[in-house]
Structure 1
Amino acid sequence: MSSMVYVRLRKKVTARPGQILRLRDVAQVIVDEPHAAVEEIPVYEPGLKDGNLAVLDLIEVVRRIRSAFPGLDVRSIGPAQVIIELQSDRIRPRRWWVAGVWLLLFVGSALAIMNFHTDVSMREVHQRIYYLMTGQRVQEPLVLQIPYSFGIGIGMIVFFNHLFKRRLNDEPSPLELEMYLYQENLDQYVIEHEKQKERSRL
């Protein structure tokens, strides 16, 4: 009876240009002790010509395993491709650049909120609510406007489920869900795009 190896490709791995990726780097492997060296089989060497994204197909992984261990029975579990993301040295952003972007986002979001409140006539709404509750007409119903302003900030914290770096609970925020779906769609596009490039080369 031939020994079996179970291979489950990871969805995405990161590597540096010129780094030799071995089977254990791109997949989870279960194999009997006599064939433990199968995890050290080199399966891919990314280069700058590949761009910053490359796709390694399961067929190529199985081919490498069979050429190194001909008697091994390879069983695949999970995805059929792994996306390899090439990482170069990250450049640390300058403080003035971070401060400028932060200021731009702060002013832009503040203007967006103010324009929204102007469009829906929020001041008149507050004046009307104050009149209905007290019977008095005032230009600045601060008893409503001040709590409402704090409520906007608290509502944003609850909605995004973050207070600085601290999470309020384990549930993902709507923004995190959208980012997750975006990443899933991007990964699927990369896989399909690489398949098309492979077909065009044949």
Structure 2
Amino acid sequence: MNKTVYVRLKHRIQAKPNERITLNKIAKIIADEALISKMGDQIIHQIQSKDKTYVVIDVINVIEKIQSIDPSLDVQPVGPTQTIVEIQNHRKKFAPVLFFLVWLLLFVGSALTIMNFHEDVSMQRMHRNLYQFFTGNKIDKPLILQIPYSIGLGLGMVLFFNHVFKKKFNEEPSPLEVEIFNYQMDLDQYIAINENKESVKNDDD
């Protein structure tokens, strides 16, 4: 029997309170079928109330658990060295009033930002000058320029963020998705380092 076991930890998983985290839930295992069936249901961690929101499972703990089953196994970790377990406690119910207030705040704030930008760069005067340059006539409200400009502004934002509600135009991530991804990676890194510090502190105590 081949005694080599390849283990690739998942970067992040979600778990319920009091759930038992098994090996096949946090990792992808490559080995003989007999070994996989034997190790997959092994409990790596039991979620407890003291765990609060996050638990970080290190690959060392996984290797120790596997070798406790069979010390002769050659465990080869591949990929991430830690798995972040996010504990899903009671979710807050959807609040339509709060959603509407947040939406209204964002809408008004965005509108004011656009209007202040246009005022700073004298957009209305520029439209007047462009209309006078091309037609020779001077008017206060060159709607033939302002209406297409307003429509183009909205379409440009939709194309920039690559979203219409839940529909995407292509598979390319939007700048907002990239920023959210970078934020999530920084958050995960902070959680992993902070949880490890707490574990070391508890061991020292």
TM superposition score category, shorter chain reference = over 0.9
Map 1:2-17 onto structure 2 (within 5 A).
3-17=3-17
2:44 maps to 1:43: yes
Query: Any idea what the Cα deviations from partners look like across 1:67-118, whole Å, max 9, x if unmatched?
Result: 1222322111111111110001322212222222212211111111111111
Share of identical aligned residues, percent? 44
Kept in 1, the 8 Å contact 2:9–2:27? The answer is yes
Partner of 1:90: 91
Secondary structure of the residue aligned to 2:84 is strand
Secondary structure of the residue aligned to 2:170 is coil
Quick one: distance in 2 between partners of 1:70 and 1:18?
A: 29
User: Which residues of structure 1 form unaligned runs of 5+?
Assistant: none
Kept in 2, the 8 Å contact 1:2–1:71? The answer is no
User: Which residues of structure 2 form unaligned runs of 5+?
Assistant: none
- TM-score in terms of structure 2 length: 0.93
Kept in 1, the 8 Å contact 2:2–2:31? The answer is no
Quick one: distance in 2 between partners of 1:51 and 1:164?
A: 33
- TM-score in terms of structure 1 length: 0.95
Deviating beyond 3 angstroms after TM superposition, the runs of 4 or more aligned structure 1 residues are none
Map 1:1-202 onto structure 2 (within 5 A).
3-35=3-35, 36-201=37-202, 202=204
Letter in 2 for 1:82: T
Give the drift of 1:2. Answer: 5.4
Q: How many residues align?
A: 202
Q: CA RMSD in A?
A: 1.4
